[in-house]
C-alpha cells in the first residue's frame, strides 16, 4: 500500500457527484449491515453457549460457521464475541444497530468499555475517529497505571511483496510437495509458512557448515528503515486527513441513507434455542447479509478503480475502511476479489445471492473456474462439504502451479487425479516422498513402478541427494516455470539475507533447490521406534480428523463397529478422529459413522442435519434449510 499523499501516477479525479454517491452507498451498506451481523452474533453466541453446535454434529463454532454459513472461523468467533460483550453495553449496542458507529468502533468499545464508562466513551466515539479513539483509550490506560508510557496500538497493515523465481519444473514440483507437507504438519498452507520453514532450516545448515562466515543483514536493515519511513508518512497523512474530517459537518445524505439501510435490516426475531431451528435462523440471516456483501464488493471495486478513497481525502485505504465504512481493509478486499472473479463467472455470484453456496465455497470455486468449468464446480460444491471442496481446489491448484499453468480454467479433479494427489500427501507424511522424488515422480508398489495418477511424471533424472550438484539441480531439458510467491515484506527481506549468505558461502546449485534439500534431509529422518500405535491409520487420514466437517489434528483411533459389539482391529474398521469428534460427538450420539473406513457414511446431529457418504453429501432434510453453505 502506498500511503503518500501525492504519489506519482495518481488517477484523475472522477466526477464529484458520482464519487459522493458511491461513497454514500458504500457507507450506508456497511453501517446498515451492522444490525444483521449483530443478530448473527447473538445466534452464534447462543449456539456456542448452549452447545448447540455439538448437537448439530460440529466440533466447534468455526467448523459450524465454515460448513453452514460459509464464513471463516475468525469472522464467526469475532462476531459472537462482540455480541456477547455488547450484551452488557446497551447504549453501544443500540448505536451499532442504528448505524451511528461502525463495527470497528463498536468492537473497540466492546473491549474497553464498562457499564460505568460506557456513556462517556460512546459520547467520545461519536466525534472521534477509530485511530483517535484507540489513542484516547491508550492514553487513559497510561494515566491510570502511571508506570506505562502512553502508546498507540498500530493498525495491522500487512505489507506484501511478490517474490518471483524462475525455477526448474522439478523444483516447482518439489516446492509444492514441501508446501503440502508443511500444511499437513502445521495446518498452515500459505507460502509464508513454507518459506519461513525452508529459510529456518537452510539458515541453520549454513551456520553449521560455515561457522566463520558472518551473516549480513543489510537488506533487512534497509527494508526496516524504509518501512519505518513509510509508517511515519502514513501516520502523518492520516492525522492531516483527520483534521479535515473534524472540520466537516455531518452529511445529511449519509444519515438518511444509513437510516434506510438500517430499516431494511430491521425486524430480526430473537434466536430460538432449539439447535435445528437456530441453524435455520442463522442461515436465513446469513443469506441476507451475503447479498449485502455482494453489493459491497461491487461498489468497493468501482470506488477503488477510480482511486476514490484518495480523492475523498483519506490518506490510505485502511483509514477509509476503518473510519468511513467501519470495517477492516481485509474484509473489503476479500469482497472486491470475489466480485472481480465473479465478473468472469457470474454464475457464482448468482449462486451466492440465492444462498445456494456460502462465501467460502464461492471464494474457492471462483479461484479455479472459468465459463467452461464453472457449472461443474458449482455442481461439485453442491456435493461436497467446504472441507472436501477445499481439498479438491487445492489439489488442482497444486498440479497447475507445479506444471507452470495458470490458476483459472481448471476442471474438478476426477477420482484418479484426487486419489493420486492424496496418495502423494500421504507419502509426505510417512517419508516415502523422498523415494518418489528420487524416482522422478514414479511411485513403486506391488504392481511395479507407475506414475502418480493425475499428477504427471517428474523427469527421471531428478534426485534428492546431497552431492554438491544441488538436490534438484543438474538437469537438462526439464523446462523452467515461473514461481510467484506473495510474501510478507519482512520475509522477503529475510529471503534476500539468507540467499546472500548462501552465495557468499560458495554453495553450488540454485538457492531454492538448496532450501528444499536441507529441509527434507532434516524432516524425513525417521526413527522407527518413534512410531506410535495406529500411526498407519493416522497417516491414511493425512493426520486430519476424518469427519467431513472437521480439520483438527489431535487424532485418536475409533472403531467404526465398536469393539464391545465385535469390531476388530482390521484397518477397514478403523478411522482417526479428533478428541472432540470422537468423545464428545460420536460417543454421545451427536455424530454417527457407518463402516467401511474407505467409504464412511456420516450423519451429523442428533436429528440428522446432514448426511455425507464418502465425499458426497446429501441434500438438507428440509428445502427451506438450504439457505447458505455447502
End-to-end CA distance of the chain: 35
Could you tell me which of 531, 487, 528, 544 has the C-alpha nearest to residue 186?
544
Q: Give the model confidence (pLDDT) of 33-68 as tens digits.
A: 888 899 999 999 999 999 999 999 999 999 999 999
The pLDDT value recorded for residue 403 is 74
121 contact partners, CB below 8 Å, separation of at least 6: 109, 112, 113, 137
Could you tell me which of 557, 526, 516, 518 has the C-alpha nearest to residue 540?
557
Could you tell me which of 431, 332, 354 has the C-alpha nearest to residue 623?
354
For the chain, the residue count is 630
Could you tell me which of 374, 309, 289, 225 has the C-alpha nearest to residue 44?
289
Rounded to whole angstroms, the Cα distance separating 433 from 449 reads 14
Q: Any idea which residue has 470475489 for its cell?
A: 338
Cell of 302: 468501482
Q: How much of the chain, in percent, has pLDDT values that exceed 90?
A: 34
Residue 389, burial from CB neighbour count under 10 angstroms (0-12, 13-18, 19+): buried
Rounded to whole angstroms, the Cα distance separating 509 from 474 reads 8
Q: Give the model confidence (pLDDT) of 88-103 as tens digits.
A: 999 999 998 888 888 9
Rounded to whole angstroms, the Cα distance separating 552 from 550 reads 6
Q: Give the model confidence (pLDDT) of 115-154 as tens digits.
A: 999 999 999 988 888 888 888 888 877 766 655 444 444 4
Q: Give the model confidence (pLDDT) of 253-280 as tens digits.
A: 666 766 766 666 566 788 999 999 999 9
Rounded to whole angstroms, the Cα distance separating 389 from 371 reads 19
Residue 354, burial from CB neighbour count under 10 angstroms (0-12, 13-18, 19+): middle
Structure confidence at residue 294 as a pLDDT band (50, 70, 90): confident
Q: Any idea which residue has 465504512 for its cell?
A: 325
Query: What is the pTM assigned to this prediction?
Result: 0.76
Report, in this order, helix, strand and coil percent for the chain, each rounded to 5.
Answer: 60, 5, 35
Structure confidence at residue 458 as a pLDDT band (50, 70, 90): very low
Quick one: how many helices (H) and strands (E) in the chain? 27, 10
Rounded to whole angstroms, the Cα distance separating 198 from 194 reads 6
271, 281 in Cβ contact below 8 A?
Answer: yes
In sequence order, which ranges of 187-217 are alpha helices (DSSP H)?
Answer: 191-209
The pLDDT value recorded for residue 34 is 86
Amino acid at each position: 500500500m502506498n500511503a503518500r499523499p501525492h504519489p506519482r501516477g495518481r488517477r484523475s479525479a472522477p466526477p464529484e457527484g458520482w464519487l459522493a454517491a458511491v461513497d454514500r452507498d458504500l457507507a450506508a451498506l456497511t453501517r446498515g449491515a451492522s444490525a444483521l451481523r449483530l443478530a448473527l452474533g447473538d445466534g452464534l453466541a447462543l449456539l456456542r453457549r448452549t452447545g448447540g453446535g455439538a448437537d448439530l454434529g460440529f466440533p466447534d463454532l468455526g467448523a459450524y460457521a465454515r460448513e453452514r454459513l460459509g464464513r471463516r472461523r475468525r469472522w464467526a468467533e469475532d462476531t459472537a464475541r462482540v455480541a456477547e460483550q455488547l450484551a452488557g453495553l446497551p447504549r453501544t449496542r443500540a448505536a451499532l444497530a442504528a448505524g451511528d458507529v461502525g463495527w470497528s468502533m463498536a468492537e473497540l468499545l466492546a473491549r474497553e468499555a464498562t457499564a460505568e464508562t460506557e456513556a462517556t466513551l460512546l459520547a467520545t466515539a461519536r466525534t472521534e475517529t477509530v485511530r483517535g479513539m484507540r489513542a484516547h483509550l491508550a492514553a487513559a490506560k497510561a494515566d491510570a497505571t502511571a508506570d506505562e508510557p502512553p502508546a498507540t496500538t498500530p493498525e495491522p497493515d500487512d505489507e506484501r511483496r511478490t517474490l518471483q523465481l524462475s525455477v526448474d519444473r522439478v523444483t516447482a514440483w518439489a516446492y509444492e510437495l514441501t508446501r503440502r507437507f508443511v500444511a499437513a504438519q502445521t495446518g498452515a498452507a500459505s507460502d509464508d509458512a513454507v518459506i519461513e520453514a525452508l529459510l529456518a532450516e537452510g539458515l541453520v545448515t549454513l551456520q553449521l557448515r560455515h561457522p566463520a562466515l558472518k551473516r549480513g543483514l543489510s537488506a533487512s536493515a534497509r527494508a526496516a528503515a524504509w518501512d519505518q519511513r513509510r509508517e511515519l508518512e502514513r501516520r502523518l497523512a492520516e492525522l492531516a486527513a483527520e483534521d479535515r474530517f473534524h472540520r466537516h459537518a455531518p452529511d445529511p445524505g449519509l444519515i438518511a441513507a444509513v437510516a434506510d439501510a438500517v430499516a431494511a435490516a430491521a425486524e430480526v426475531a430473537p434466536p430460538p434455542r432449539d439447535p435445528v431451528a437456530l441453524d435455520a435462523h442463522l442461515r436465513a440471516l446469513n443469506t441476507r447479509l451475503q447479498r449485502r456483501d455482494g453489493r459491497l464488493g461491487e461498489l468497493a471495486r468501482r470506488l477503488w478503480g477510480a482511486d476514490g478513497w484518495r480523492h475523498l481525502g483519506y490518506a490510505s485505504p485502511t483509514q477509509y475502511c476503518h473510519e468511513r465504512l467501519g470495517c477492516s481493509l481485509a474484509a473489503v478486499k476479500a469482497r472486491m476479489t470475489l466480485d472481480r472473479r465473479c465478473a468472469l463467472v457470474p454464475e457464482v455470484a448468482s449462486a451466492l445471492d440465492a444462498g445456494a453456496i456460502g462465501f467460502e465455497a464461492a471464494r474457492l470455486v471462483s479461484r479455479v473456474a472459468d465459463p467452461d468449468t464453472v457449472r461443474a464446480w458449482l455442481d461439485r460444491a453442491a456435493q461436497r462439504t467446504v472441507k472436501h471442496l477445499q481439498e479438491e481446489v487445492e489439489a488442482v491448484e497444486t498440479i497447475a502451479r507445479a506444471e507452470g499453468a495458470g490458476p483459472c480454467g481448471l476442471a474438478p479433479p476426477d477420482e484418479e487425479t484426487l486419489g493420486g494427489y492424496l496418495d502423494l500427501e500421504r507419502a509426505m507424511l510417512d517419508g516415502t516422498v523422498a523415494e518418489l522424488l528420487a524416482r522422478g515422480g514414479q511411485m513403486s508398489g506391488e504392481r511395479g513402478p507407475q506414475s502418480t495418477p493425475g499428477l504427471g511424471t517428474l523427469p527421471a533424472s531428478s534426485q534428492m541427494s546431497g552431492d554438491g550438484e544441488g538436490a534438484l539441480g543438474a538437469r537438462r531439458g526439464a523446462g523452467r516455470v515461473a514461481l510467484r510467491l506473495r510474501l510478507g515484506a519482512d520475509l522477503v527481506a529475510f529471503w534476500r539475507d539468507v540467499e546472500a549468505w548462501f552465495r557468499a558461502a560458495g554453495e553450488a546449485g540454485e538457492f531454492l533447490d538448496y532450501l528444499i534439500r536441507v529441509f527434507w534431509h532434516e524432516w524425513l529422518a525417521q526413527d522407527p521406534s518413534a512410531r506410535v500405535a495406529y500411526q498407519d491409520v493416522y497417516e491414511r487420514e493425512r493426520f486430519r480428523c476424518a469427519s467431513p466437517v472437521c480439520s483438527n489434528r489431535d487424532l485418536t483411533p475409533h472403531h467404526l463397529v465398536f469393539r464391545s459389539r465385535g469390531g476388530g482391529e482390521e484397518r477397514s474398521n478403523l478411522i482417526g478422529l479428533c478428541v472432540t469428534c470422537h468423545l464428545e460427538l460420536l460417543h454421545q450420539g451427536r455424530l454417527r459413522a457407518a463402516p467401511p473406513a474407505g467409504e464412511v457414511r456420516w450423519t451429523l446431529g442428533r436429528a440428522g442435519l446432514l448426511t455425507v457418504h464418502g465425499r458426497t453429501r446429501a441434500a438438507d432434510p428440509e428445502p427451506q434449510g438450504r439457505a447458505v453453505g455447502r
